[in-house]
Amino acid sequence: MTDKATRRNFIDRAVIATSALAAAELIPFSASGAPSSPAGPAPGTQKLRAIGEITSEGGKLRAVITVKNAKRTVPTPAPANLTATDTMMLRYFDGHRPDGSQQWPPNVRAKTGYPAPGPGPTLRAKLGDQVQIALLNHVRPTDFRRTLDVERCDHVRNSGTAPAPGTTMSPNATPPPDVYPRNDHYPDCLHGSSSANIHFHGTHVTPSTTGDNVLINVRPNRGVLERDVLPAFDKIWNHCEVGHQPLKWGDLPRQWRDYQRALLIALPEQQLWHDNEAAIAAGVWPQWHVGAYPYCFQIPHYREGVRNDVEMGQSPGTHWYHSHKHGSTAINMFNGLSGAFIITDDSPDGYDGKLHRFYAKQGRKLTEHVLVFQQIIDTPNMLSNSPSGRSATLVNGQYAPVIDMQPGDVQLWRMINANVSNIVPISFTRLLGGTAPAAAATPSPAPSSAPASSGFTYKQTAQDGVQLGWDNY
């Protein structure tokens, strides 16, 4: 891709494939047998870390997900295929249940340097569950100098500080020359890279109001706290069944509407509240929000012969979520603002239930691994295919981690390509007792099995969250 590529063409490159492999009778393997530099752990020496999950209970997946920023120690490419590390200021997803349980990432300090990067918590729900998520945005924009959350495209400023209250809006103003991108003019201020939202990729739910609404723009405000918003969100979450979710702004509690109005009016760019007013008057869901936003929807479950409120149900499988702030999607994903969204069907004929029973009848256990592939980088550049050459493909925030298996083990790998531009070819390297590789196998794009020489049998069971026919595997 050249630097002249359009933003749309670039985003098209970021379409993500999710797939699952049910693998049987493996021996220990590593994705790489390369040595390492002293600066970072040797590839093939770290065991894959499991990403913490937030799971549904009683038919409801409830979570508080906060966008934060902090320094992270990121594995990066180095000469001769070695591993180095780099310290980067990154935005990331922090999540937990409202009761404080199932926290990810853990609140622990790294022994040396800063914690590793990685995806947000894995969200796991069942067909028919209600998803109730409070999104908070606690990013400190001034930690990301010269982004348009600080240098708004409707203000001309010469410093990295936020516009002073009462600054007069200049609709035709041009940002300073070192603000990226320089060609945004009001009202097309797309590059608010510290603003955020959540896109639930692959879900068959409403794309409007409190559903999978990618037009929502949540501005950062560290003063909007969980304890302040959950009482209002509880009232909203009580009406999230299919066919009963909010349809217009007036359906939300007045407490929340008044709170958001006050926060927007307090912003220097007061035009945002005027835009919301115009949208509400026209019966359109308002775009601009500050500090927090309530997501709620029900995952549709269609069952033959049972009374349904939907004509088509959700496909269970490996899905994902990410920040989809228009104009900054690539930058947010380069920072790591993505995670797995697993939707299961444990019924007798369901995808998950049938797989687990198949192996249970053989006296074998089916173990799951969630693998999220990401490029982690702090360079804001949406028009370059390889930003600065510093972007390695990481797995759960690690470079070439190892999954241990024993002969006869059966595992289900849920793989999500959350890279911005990298295609991830899959290959398997056999290690004997953790030593040098003895054999390798590379799968074809179609469902298939690895050659016997690898000591590894695998079959693809799904792609993009849609299951292949049972006879294939």
Phi, psi angle pair for 450, to nearest 5°: -75, 150
Q: What is the mean pLDDT of residues 332-340?
A: 94
Q: Which residue has the higher pLDDT, 452 or 282?
A: 282
**Which residue(s) pair with 86 in the sheet?**
74
Q: What is the mean pLDDT of residues 108-125?
A: 85
Q: Which two tokens stand for residue 269?
A: 């760019």
- At residue 318, the pLDDT reads 96
- At residue 471, the pLDDT reads 87
Q: How many helices (H) and strands (E) does the chain have?
A: 6, 21
Confidence check: pLDDT of 295 > 80: yes
How do residues 255-277 score in pLDDT, each as one tens digit? Answer: 999 999 999 998 876 678 888 99
Q: What is the mean pLDDT of residues 328-349?
A: 92
Q: Is 423 exposed, middle or buried (0-12, 13-18, 19+ CB in 10 A)?
A: exposed
How do residues 2-12 score in pLDDT, each as one tens digit? Answer: 344 443 343 33
Helix H or strand E encompassing 239: none
Q: What is the mean pLDDT of residues 458-472?
A: 88
In whole numbers, what is the pLDDT of the chain averaged over residues?
A: 78
* Reported pTM: 0.83
Q: Which two tokens stand for residue 16?
A: 């993500």
**pLDDT category, 378, cuts 50, 70, 90?**
confident
Q: What is the mean pLDDT of residues 376-396?
A: 67
Q: Which two tokens stand for residue 177?
A: 């020359």
- Whose CA is closest to 435, among 9, 15, 29? 29
Quote the CA–CA distance of 318 and 418 in Å, as a whole number.
12
Peptide bond just before 119 cis, omega within 30 deg: no
- At residue 210, the pLDDT reads 96
Helix H or strand E encompassing 69: strand 60-77
How do residues 136-180 score in pLDDT, each as one tens digit? Answer: 999 998 887 656 566 555 443 333 344 444 343 344 445 455 454
How do residues 15-54 score in pLDDT, each as one tens digit? Answer: 334 567 654 444 333 333 333 333 566 666 789 999 999 9
Peptide bond just before 181 cis, omega within 30 deg: yes
Those residues with Cβ within 8 angstroms of residue 344's Cβ, 6 or more apart along the chain or in another chain: 124, 125, 126, 127, 316, 350, 351, 352
Quote the CA–CA distance of 437 and 34 in Å, as a whole number.
10
Q: What is the DSSP string of 151-216?
A: S-TTS--SSSSPPPTTPPP-TT----TTSSSTT--TT-----TT-B--EEET--S-SSTTSS-TT-
- At residue 63, the pLDDT reads 98
Checking DSSP bridges between strand 338-344 and strand 122-126, what pairing results, if any?
Answer: parallel
CA distance from start to end of the chain = 37
